[in-house]
Structure 1
Amino acid sequence: MVWRRNVGCADLTAVSEVRRALRDLMRHWGEPDTAAVAELLTSELVTNALIHTDSGAVVTATVTGSRLRVEVRDFVSELPAPYVPVADDGTHGRGLILVQALADAWGVKTHGVGKVVWFEMIGGSV
């Protein structure tokens, strides 16, 4: 199964819509805890794309057997790097650290104009 959503530039309200659609896609996939982590990581990547670019994003989620792959494509070529936050940063800068720590695999690849930040989780089947 594949799900895709275009997210408009600076449309932070779309983050909750993306989470809801992903939740529906994963209704019968994996353990509830794994699906919740996938939701969290997806919202982190979408939020990063919307905050750090002025071009919107395309979110694609693909479920194949026991594997979930989520890709967030934006249209800015600058590649992200995990940030090591300091204690007084509040909640800033932890998105990629969460992805790195909780996903089974993740990465960044250039994609024409822009890039795709992706993660994969293994957790069940649909």
Structure 2
Amino acid sequence: MSTGLGGQAQGHTQTRRLALFGTKGVVSRCRDFTEQALADWGWRATGPEEEHDVVEDVLLLVSELVTNACLHAGGPEELTLNHSGGQLRVEVADADPRRPRRRAQRDLAQPGGHGLIILERLAQSWGSEPRGSGKVVWLEVRLSPGPGGPGRRP
């Protein structure tokens, strides 16, 4: 795995990219990278409870996207974070063109197979799009409090 740390400010948009290869240690590396970017943008896991909850949700979502790329797509190639106007877009690129799909209904008490359910519950929106010979799976989360607070939770 290599690091491709890049922070760039374009007006009110800030972007960070992390180039990746392989699967060993990639989930924790992406979580650490995301946590640092959020801290740089003023959001800390040790901040007020509302901020803490949003940061923890984002770190869980990043873990799910990266884990899914490891399990189903041969590993992620790049993690991209775009922060603009209180909105965060997380993108994980991989070399597999197959789009994510939910597995058949399973017992929710059993481990595994719940990644897309977590995305649907915690992200404001998510999806995937073709990129090159692979795809990008993305999600969006509101970092700044809006009506009803951050994220999708009431």
Common fold, TM-score beyond 0.5?
A: yes
Q: Is contact 1:85-1:94 (8 Å) kept?
A: no
Residue 13 of structure 2 corresponds to residue 8 of structure 1? no
Deviation at 1:9, TM superposition (A): 2.1
Correspondence for 1:17 = 29
Residue 135 of structure 2 corresponds to residue 102 of structure 1? no
Correspondence for 1:48 = 68
Q: Is contact 1:106-1:120 (8 Å) kept?
A: yes
The letter for the 2-side match of 1:24 is Q
Q: Is contact 1:9-1:55 (8 Å) kept?
A: yes
Give structure 1 stretches of 5+ with no counterpart. Answer: none
**Which fold has the larger relative contact order, with Cα–Cα distance below 8 Å and residues 6 or more apart in sequence?**
1
Normalising by structure 2, we get a TM-score of: 0.73
Structure 1's 49 and 89: CA in aligned 2 closer, same or farther, altered over 3 A? farther
Structure 1's 32 and 84: CA in aligned 2 closer, same or farther, altered over 3 A? farther
Name which of structure 1's ranges 22-31 and 83-92 shifts more when overlaid on structure 2. Answer: 83-92
Residues 23-70 of structure 1 show CA distances to partners (whole Å, capped at 9, x for unaligned) of 111121372211110110011000110111225421101111200000
CA distance in 2, matches of 1:83, 1:110: 21
CA distance in 2, matches of 1:101, 1:124: 18
CA distance in 1, matches of 2:79, 2:115: 16
How many residues in Structure 1 have an aligned counterpart in Structure 2? Answer: 124
The letter for the 1-side match of 2:91 is E
Give structure 2 stretches of 5+ with no counterpart. Answer: 1-13, 44-49, 146-154
The letter for the 2-side match of 1:42 is V
Correspondence for 2:132 = 112
> 3-state SS of the aligned residue for 1:118?
strand
User: Superposition pairs for residues 44-123 of structure 1, below 5 Å?
Assistant: 44-54=64-74, 56-87=76-107, 90-123=110-143
Percent identity (aligned):
33
Name which of structure 1's ranges 77-86 and 62-71 shifts more when overlaid on structure 2. Answer: 77-86
CA distance in 1, matches of 2:30, 2:76: 13
Greater helix percent: which structure? 1
> 3-state SS of the aligned residue for 1:87?
coil
CA distance in 1, matches of 2:104, 2:62: 20
Moved over 3 A (4+): none
- CA RMSD across the alignment: 2.0
